[in-house]
Amino acid sequence: MKNNLLVKLLVFAVIVAWTVTSGTAWAADINKHKFKFAFQNTKEHPQGQGAVKFAELVKEKSNGKMTVQLFPSGMLGGDLQTVSALQGGTIDFTVLNAGLLVGLVPAFGIFDFPFMFNNEAEADAIVDGDFGKMMFAKLPEKGLVGLGYWELGFRNMTNNVRPITKLEDFSGIKLRVLQSPVFIDTFNELGCNTVPLPWPEVYTALEQHVVDGQENPVTNVQFASLFEVQKYFSFTKHIYSPQSSLVSKKTWDKLTADEQQIIVDAEKEAKLYQRQVNRAQMAKSLAFIKTKMEVNEIAPAEMAKIREAAKPVYEKNTPKVGQDVVDAFNAAIAKVRN
């Protein structure tokens, strides 16, 4: 009798252990859901690979009850349209440049300030720390919930006019930029004629010579085939692009605590995976781009002049972003560098 009881207890313990390690809470309150996740790049792009991983993890952790349908390549509209759809609850998830949220929360413009990060490790520490959490705390009242920060990497400039080797080379180039006031101000200060356009329109605008150039991480240049319509790639490394992974608050509020935890856990794993994939891909993309375009570095002395020319962007946009936000960022980055 005692042996039978012992066996039953052992079996029960094994079942509980398996349930916990499988990532699904014992007796979790999980219902069936089918979510929509829209983003701008292809599934093969590091952004897309992160979305694919997230969808796989959600399905796995919910034992198939919660599924995520992916809509890549701007199928459901540009970033700003997608954010609006998230607010309305017709799309559930997206991931986009954090600075594009500036229309809803001006403070997010801080992520578009030029030359704020020296490397990826600094960026990780800032966005994963208290500063990143503080920024996400501003979103729920706008109908969005921040889950985590993904990566595109440092942005560089391409164009068909000339290689960018010094400050004067920016002059007069018609440059497509993100629909972000800080991006517009930055390149206007450097001497470009800026043309804000949504990402799905960029290739055609370059092909039809509506604009001379654009600026993006090297992975985007490869995966969007911009090398077909651009000649020069210059390592300006002007802005680092943290990406905000978001869920609609309307969607979030419908979920049980157990379902929310599955989303949180899946995103945390997907974020780390996505960053790893992106950093590996950047090296591969650069090697590829070097076979298709003229690639140049910029001498440190010239980069110093470019940084100096961009300083008015801070002065102009600090009041919009908020002095408290700028001060909080400066304190956080100083702590990281010490």
- Any idea where the domains of the chain sit in the sequence? 31-337
CB 150 within 8 A of CB 95: yes
pLDDT at 23: 45
- Give strand pairing partners of 97: 243
Residue 16 confidence (pLDDT) above 90: no
Residue 18 confidence (pLDDT) above 90: no
Which homologous superfamily is 31-337 in? Bacterial extracellular solute-binding protein, family 7 (3.40.190.170)
CB 266 within 8 A of CB 61: yes
The pTM score is 0.84
Percent of the chain with pLDDT over 90: 88
Assign 10 a pLDDT band (cuts: 50, 70, 90).
low
pLDDT at 180: 85
Q: What is the mean pLDDT of residues 47-56?
A: 97
Distances (CA, A) of 25 to 18, 179, 260, 318: 10, 42, 12, 45
Reported as a single tens digit per residue, the pLDDT across 154-202 is 999 999 999 999 999 999 999 999 888 899 999 999 999 999 999 989 9
Q: What is the mean pLDDT of residues 311-317?
A: 95
Q: What is the mean pLDDT of residues 102-118?
A: 94
